[in-house]
Amino acid sequence: PVFHDDQHGTSIIVGAAVLNAVHIVGKQLKDVRVAASGAGAAGIACLDMLVSLGVRPEHILVSDKDGVLYQGRPGLDPQGARYARPTD
């Protein structure tokens, strides 16, 4: 087993914080929308954790140094592409 402190440690803390936040405001994870700034290893790990806890992937919007991750964006890596949104 491998524990990657930057990814796993950060995502566990983010997951706990979001679970507490939705509890306080009386919502469910399936109903919240998430905006994420950063699509690096830790950011994607946090999003993966939130999805595993119940956030709907279609309710996640991610941006990085080049803007919003959208489907068909040139140079998008496979990890970020999982959270790329369709545009019209």
| DSSP-derived secondary structure letter, 40 | S
Contact between 55 and 29 (Cβ < 8 Å): yes
Q: Which domain holds residue 40?
A: 5-67
Say what the pTM is. 0.90
Give tens-digit pLDDT for 21-80.
999 999 999 999 999 999 999 999 999 999 999 999 999 999 999 999 999 999 999 999
User: Which amino acid belongs to residue 37?
Assistant: S
DSSP string, 52-80: HHT--GGGEEEEETTEE-BTT-TT--HHH
Give tens-digit pLDDT for 3-23.
777 888 899 999 999 999 999
In a domain, 81, yes or no: no
Backbone angles phi, psi at 14, to 5 degrees: -60, -45
- CA distance linking residue 39 with residue 62, whole number of Å: 7
In a domain, 38, yes or no: yes
In total, how many domains does the chain have?
A: 1
